[in-house]
Structures are given as structure tokens and as C-alpha cells.
Chains A and B, each alone.
Chain A
Amino acid sequence: MRGRNIATAQAQVRRELEKAFELIARRWERQARKLSSDFQGLRLHWHQAARYLEIYGHETYELLLAFHERRVMRSIRVNTLLVRPEELERLLREKGLAVQKHPYTWYGLVVKETPHPLGALHEYMLGLYTIQGPASMMAVPALDPKEGQRIADMCAGAGVKTTQISQHTPTARILALDINRRKLLALKNNASRLAAFNIVAVQMDARNIPKLGKFNAILLDAPCSGEGLLHTAKGRWPRTFKDTLSRVQLQLQLLDAGVKALARGGVLVYSTCTLSVEENEYVVSKILEHYEDIDVTEPPIPGGSKGIESYANLPLNPNVKRCRRYTPHKDRTEGFTICRLERKS
């Protein structure tokens, strides 16, 4: 595999994933179909149920499926460029909100109760906070960006994590990429609202990032199946094996491009809002096969569980156990996976 282009490995990827799915289907199809029927409201395709039964087994997976939306933490990220968390906490309490500290990060707040929609408060309009999921908020601390670095956010979207990087490193140079111009216009407004002066946003296919030189830190919050959002109404739609396969192919191309653009001694965080092994530990393992000087390291963040080391006979690198998984039923967060990769210096 070494020295081969990741694009030419796509055929091998397809074969490996199809073989793994055949094994999963033989083991779990009957139980998966029953779960799909029992949890009709989740619009679960049996393909998806079977894959997660392979990860968690029946008892734990049923627990995960039953975890209701209201039990997942609702969180906001304090914009520390403009206000201290304790000051915002005080302002929100005066408006009748019940808030408490985020369990894993000092600038997050968990909203227990609010008499107003979170996006309608003046404090939101004035840039004192932004709305962000509790596990999603952990990707940037996992990256641990430093001042003076050149940093890229490869699939920046509306800039929620991009502006979070700016909070960590107000004078680093942050390049935000996205293929969707409309999302980047939202990023423009968010940068203004949150007073983030060190972000340049470019509409481009992030697979071309190697043309832009080397970066010390890269965040790749990759487009994914969104299976980690099953507890929300918009996260529920039937996902077949083919949906997973098409995501994996794109994720591999993006991660390969990100690794090519990573400077020596640099860090790349690969994150998704899914708990699927195919889209996380497998994608990372494939990249590790191609690059001898890249390894997975422990992210400097609390909470979550370790990465999956064994799944349906797929070839997984043993170091993917250093990935971090956040799950609704254990962590009360959206389903989210974070893998931190480093290039040797």
C-alpha cells in the first residue's frame, strides 16, 4: 500500500467495506430488522442498525437508541474574545436562563432551561456566545492550536469551529475553506458578530488544499452520514450501506489532501458527527497505511471513550484506540468522533 495514491486504493476500500458489511449482515440482519421496526420513529434502516449492533451489541445499542433528545446536553460556547464565561453566566441568569458549566471545557455553558430561543437573545446577536453542540466543542481543544501558526479549517461551513479556533489563537492565521459559498457568507457574518479578525475564507474544494502550501494545524470536520445526530429529528433518515460507502470515499480524499498539506510536526484533527467505524477509525487506518510519518496521538481533552480497535474484520491500525468517541447514552452529547493525527517533526 505504501507509495500508492489514495485514489487508486478506492477499489480496495470498496472491496473491504463490502466484505465487512456482508459479515455484519450475516450476523445481525434479523435483529437489525426488528430494531428498525421497534424504533420506527427513528427511521432507522436495518443496514445502519446492523452496523451499530456490530459495534455495541444489542443491549447497549438499544440504550443508545432510546436516549431521548431532551436528555442530551444543550450547550453554548462563550465567545471569550468579548466576554468572560462567568460574566455571561450572570447576564443569562438575569434573563431567566438556568445554566451550568460545561463538563469538559471552561468556555462552554450547558443550558438547562430557557424561556427564550437561544438564537433570539441579545447576547447572541451581540456576539457574546454561539450555539454549538457539547461534543462538537471538543474538536478544537483536541487540535490545541497555538499562536503564530498557520491553520486551516478544511470544511469550515458557517464557521462555528473556525471562530472557536480564533478564540484559542486570536492572532494566528486561519484559512477557512468550503465548497459552499452560501455557508461562507454565513461565516462572514459570524466572524463579524464574534469579532474574529484573523480568518480568511475561500470558496474552494478542500481537496485542493495542498496547492496552498503547508499548515501547522488543520481541522477537518468532514462531511459525514450524521448518524451521531439520531437523537434529533433532522438526524433521522434511513441510511443504507451505499450512503456510508460514498461518504467514506470522499472522507478519504479529504483526509489524504489534509495530510499532504500538513507541515512537519503539525497536527491534524479529523472529526465527524457519526459513530460509524467505517467513517472514522477505518478512514484513519487507511491513511496511516499510506504515510509512515503520520500517527494517531491522544487528544488533550477529557471525556468520551476510546476508539474502536476491532470491527467486522476490517484492517484497523491498533493506534486508532487513541481516537475519542462521545456518545449520547454515556456522555449526554451528540454522537461525535475525534481523531488527532500528528506528522513527525
Chain B
Amino acid sequence: MQTREKKLAPCPRKAVIMVARRISCHTTSSIPQSLTLYCLKRGNYIDVYAVEGRLEEYIGDMASQENIAGDIVTIGVHIARLVEHDKTDRGAKLVPMLGLAQLMRRYTGIVKGYAVVNEHAEKLFLYGRDILQESIVELKPPPKTCKNIIIVLNKQLIPLGWGRIARRAERIYIQNLVDAGWYLRSGV
């Protein structure tokens, strides 16, 4: 991606609101003021990055930006992906990345919309598996508007990834959406 092609830009207000809503499902704060969100369009989805300050402070003034003889590969931390719904007119869906959990861990704290799991489940979850009810040590569901998406924490309260609370035969379980082990399995 070349900055000259202008696919990378500060996120539009709609995207910022979607990220802020997701954060509000897990904290009492919003997007930290020191961070700026940048959106990078790729095909039919948009990657959202959070970085301290503004991009110009890193790569120099506007003249430098135009002359930059390379590609920006990453800006701060990749925190989410906005995916367009294929068949409906419902607008984009926000898929949280591990970076968003790291953002909350560092900047805002996590006070709701989470599950704490035991060591056995931690191991399985980091290998991409779901979590059964008996492995859940503590569950603080998110507000109803948050689509049952939660942050999965280990017993040291360190984020392992994202999950969704689901039900099967009157028992709940947590579906694995994305986990910290995914980055190593993905081979990049």
C-alpha cells in the first residue's frame, strides 16, 4: 500500500463510533484520547489501527509523506476489522482483534463483558478451541447491545482473545472468535 494511493486515512466517524461502542461493552471509558484510529481499505474489508499521536508525527511533514519511497506496513496496533455484510443492507460488522483487547488492558482496564477461564481451558482456547461451561471461573456478561461478545481472560486476568457466549442444550459455552495463538499459527 502506498500512501500516495490514499487508501490509508484517519478513520471516518462511523468507524470510530463502532470501535467506541465495542470498547464501552467492556470498560467505563472510551477510546483513549492519545490514540488516533487509522483505516486501511483492503478489498471488501477495512483494517482499523490505533496509534499514539498522528501519522505525520512519525513519517514527517506532508512533503515527506508524498516523497516516501516505500509502503506503510503497520501503524501502531491492528485492533479491528470492519467487514461489509454480503447480503444485507445492515452496514459493516466489527470484528475485534487481539490488539483491541491489548488496548483495553493497557489503557482503560476491563470491567465487564469478560470471562475468566481455568488453566485447562486456557490451553485449549489458545489452540483455537471453544470453552465449556465447567471451565469458566467467572463470567461477567456484556450489556445486551453487545451481541454476547466477550473478552476471554486467564486466571492472571491477561486477555487470551475474543469469544462469543452461546447456548447449547441449556448449557452455555464460549465460541472461539480469535485467540492469541492464532498469530503464531497463521505463520506471518
Contacts and interface: CB of A to CB of B under 8 A. Distances in A.
A175 B154 contact: no
Nearest to A184: B73
A191 B77 contact: yes
A144 B72 CA distance: 26
B105 interface: yes
Contacts of A202: 59, 68, 70-73
Contacts of B70: 177, 202-205, 208
A25 interface: no
Contacts of A174: 58
B150 to A, nearest CB: 17
B78 interface: yes
Contact of A212 (B60, B73, B181): B60
Contacts of A269: none
A91 B156 contact: yes
B77 A192 contact: yes
Interface in B114-167: 122-123, 126, 154, 156, 158-160
Contacts of B102: 127, 192, 195
B94 interface: no
Contacts of A203: 70-71, 73
> Chain B contact residues: over half helix, strand or loop, or mixed?
mixed
Contacts of A205: 69-70
A239 interface: no
Interface of A: 81-82, 91, 122, 125-128, 150, 170-171, 173-175, 177, 181, 184-189, 191-193, 195-205, 208, 211-213
B58 A82 contact: no
A211 B97 CA distance: 34
Nearest to A198: B52
B88 interface: no
Contacts of A91: 156
B89 interface: no
Given A200-B51, A200-B59, A203-B71, A193 B105 contact: no
A125 B180 contact: yes
B105 A82 contact: yes
Given A125-B183, A200-B72, 12 more contacts: A91-B156, A126-B160, A126-B180, A150-B57, A175-B58, A191-B74, A192-B98, A195-B99, A197-B35, A198-B52, A205-B69, A213-B61
A199 B77 CA distance: 8
A195 B184 CA distance: 16
Contact of A198 (B64, B76, B105): B76
A212 B61 CA distance: 8
A185 B98 contact: no
